[in-house]
Chain A
């Protein structure tokens, strides 16, 4: 029976909290949920200046995967991918988790060798991964042109069977609802404009409706971390770039896997509804404006049509973009900020969505215990000074 009970009631913020989380996206909501549910923190507020999930949380391409390269980060991504499985039951909310498998195409011998190297790292970390030859690819994706007639012929692929998709809006509402039911105050329309710092300890945030005191402040602002940096008078190792995404009209089901070409910067999947989501690369310059451009759209469509010629009748019906805060080493910044009581979960570039559950879990653990969990030690801000940058490859 349909319920008339409201899923979520937004709150007006009070004057004092144990933990204030800046940013009502997936990472902020997940952190609030894990803090309230598993660490017994009573008074938590999530402050969001627009609406929950308005930034990268609602603008990504819904891909979840753990096929990264750097061995120190693989346990983190593996954990995150495994956590999605149980989240629908835990949050009592259907997140539409569909682990359909990701096929990443290789177009050169060098790329194949690099993929084999990656696969070895991933297998060692316990992640399921296979290499495919062209016959196997053709069997799995009959509509893909694997012949030698394409601009850069497909030579093989890496198959990541546990990768797939999760509906991002469902995830936002699932975490928001569950956090609110654990007693978290979710406040929208509250913009943080500054931080109150006494000595080397943060004591609260300044907002558009006045000061809010907090013992601890957690920053999870997605693509806007440099604005936070300016409020604190520091710099973060990021450049903000937009990622553009498109969807096509609805088609009969023909594509059961997520197919990507890291070399040509395209990836595509067919949603349960039937439309294709086409994604690409970051715009190659810094921008704080979520526009979409003809250049990006035409390049993406042309490269995808090269390998899916049957899609020539399709139409791009909608496009959007989201801001990505990218570091030089393709890894985020998590944990201590150098100011007591202020923790970071920023610089997630274009790979933040899949990490949501683990980010929430480990950020909450760090905030509650003040000890940096083993799995996020590699993501510290200090790594840029200690010559310990994460050895990640772009994928």
Chain B
């Protein structure tokens, strides 16, 4: 695979060890209406380029890792 994910506990690992958790979104507040929640749940920015996303290291330490990845080139950078 063309890229490795930097896990703070396990080091640089193959992405197939992880479960993709989708792009980072801001959760609506407690008083948000139903439409806002539906949009939060189902709708995505789905960037072609850099996006912040969650990865779950299920074949490793079992921690959630936040990664900034380019979805076209798979380049991973610090913020």
Contacts and interface: CB of A to CB of B under 8 A. Distances in A.
A259 to B, nearest CB: 25
Nearest to B1: A293
Contact of B48 (A227, A327, A328): A227
Contacts of B51: 286
Contacts, number: 68
A235 B45 contact: yes
Question: A226, A237, A240, A286 — which one has the most chain B CB atoms within 10 A of its CB?
Answer: A286
B44 interface: yes
Interface string A257-290: 0000000000000000000000000001111110
Given A235-B44, A236-B43, A284 B20 contact: yes
Contacts of A235: 39, 43-46
Interface string B61-79: 0000000000111100000
Majority DSSP secondary structure for residues of A touching B: loop
Looking at chain B's contact residues, is the secondary structure mostly helix, strand, loop, or mixed? Answer: mixed
Nearest to A240: B46
Interface in B6-28: 14-16, 18-20, 22-23
Contacts of A385: 34-35, 38-39
A333 to B, nearest CB: 11
Given A284-B20, A295-B1, A384-B38, A289 B74 contact: yes
A286 B20 contact: yes
B19 A239 contact: no
Contact of A287 (B41, B43, B74): B74
Nearest to A286: B71
A224 B47 CA distance: 10
Contacts of A212: none
Interface string A314-354: 00000000000001100000000000000000000000000
Given A238-B44, A238-B46, A239-B22, A287 B39 contact: no
Contacts of B34: 385
B37 to A, nearest CB: 10
Contacts of B72: 288-289
9 contacts: A236-B44, A237-B44, A238-B44, A240-B48, A240-B71, A285-B15, A286-B53, A327-B42, A384-B42
Interface of B: 1-2, 14-16, 18-20, 22-23, 34-35, 38-39, 41-48, 51, 53, 55, 71-74
